[in-house]
Chain A
Amino acid sequence: MTKVTIPIGPQHPLLKEPLSFLVTVEGERVVDSKMRLGYVHRGIERLCQQRTYVQNVHLMERVCGICSHVHTTTYCQGVEALLGLEVPERGLYLRTLLCELERIHSHLLWLGVLAKNMGFDTIFMYAWRYREIALDIMESLSGGRVSHAVNIIGGVRIDMDAAQVEAVLGQLDELDTHITTLLGVIEHEKTFRVRTQNVGLLSPEQVRRYCVVGPVARASDVDVDLRRDAPYSIYDRLDFKVITHADGDVWARTVVRLLECVESTKLCRQILASLPDGPTSTRAPRKVPAGEVVSRSEAPRGEVIYYIRSNGKDKPARVKVRTPTLPSLLALYDQLRDVNVADISVVLSGVDLCIACADR
């Protein structure tokens, strides 16, 4: 059999973002793969050192367009810890509300991308249509569909009144029905199962080897979720299930992500029901006392970790960002070995790549 090398990317309909994959195939089997990152490397970590803490909030929002809010949350959390700032309760609640809405939006977006990549445009259309509801809620709260600019150091800049709470509750109900519908479809649609089951398998050992996090790890039966295991913000006061699945394939990841959406709508309802009164933010000083902090949070794709060091000026001395996609990318080599050429698209989209996150 002759070996053929197929380039996937940097411009490829499969990836919205440029990532170069060189896949060597023998017949219809993949025998080797090579990856080249860096097409969207913008040098955010270095830019951070040249800008003030407040400016950096806007920069962090643009690490990734899909999970923009969770990045600012992690960053602000870290800076607030350095400052020793007590964030008002209402601010924390609203922050968490947006985190959960973003999780719904991100997971539905992912389902659409997966479906599109395996030639199931209908699910793509409907998933993105239902995702619009989550975007609507976020837009009504913050004014932005994808970037929200909600977080400021010391709280959030938005507030909501009773009428808005009522409206959001109604939209959440709607979202719930639609997610249940989607779950029903993917559980019963045979062609969907045929394409996703036993594809992109990751064993729990592999997950541990490559330090994979988030829904990909949970779908391989590794029970880890920072919201429960290292509660930040107000997660210790909320009641939710951590979804795991034993199968470890793309199908399991789909189920895990959709069930997480359901959990997220429940979390949103809890937050709205127990929303405390009071201010949403406190004033933060411009300069941050010298010190170091490690801030972690659970993004839609898994653990985000920020390391921030201050040397007492108004600009950070070092900000390190590690996004959940980077370890997932590493695990791709193993997943791609010996798969069918047609499954490359399913495997690649199955781990929910976000190259903008990984490259920074």
Chain B
Amino acid sequence: MSILLYIRRNIDRAILIFITIFMLIAYPLATTTDFGKFMTDWYTTLAGWSTLLGAWAIIVGVFVIVKNNVMNVVKKTKDWYYDIVTLVALVIFVGAGFMGGYTGPSMRWLSTYVLQAVSTALLGIEAFLAISAYYRAYRLKNIEAAVLMISSLIILMWMGPIFEYLIPGISNVAVWILLNPNSAAQRAMFVGIGLGLIALAVRSMLGRERYGGG
């Protein structure tokens, strides 16, 4: 029984370690030797799997959505009538897919007029949210805040094409800031991110992070 429990706890980690190490060995190999060719072929094969692996998960996801919404409607929790809208929309979209999948004519209509409306509008309202964030976040409290504000102002002036005529040469300053101090600070963060990535992989393999799950 304990062996079964051990397998149950660790089988995913074993798979993770095997695939990771295999791909890490295969990645830098040139295809000039037979071994290199074999490994590279397997690398390409494996690399193409990730989308397919995640594809079935959507069924569970839709199941959870349906379950949550039906429960809300049955229990009549707060604002339950909106959940009926959700369920109706789900039924319409799933039904529309029976005519030619997601590229079919009915789904194309739905995605053009319904989903595209929501997605573009969501990005659009961020313009408004950004303006209010600017209004509230930039305060000349100390040197750091002042630097943050001034560099932001210069870039804002560069992004609005009219400023080039009001303040000639602003684009040179902006591009210099983007190319030099901005890039340098980003590179400094890159170093940490690159190292952090490797450390995270090591921790996942040791099973200490349980992919982070406790």
Do chains A and B stick together as partners? no
Query: B residues engaging A (CB < 8 A)?
Result: none
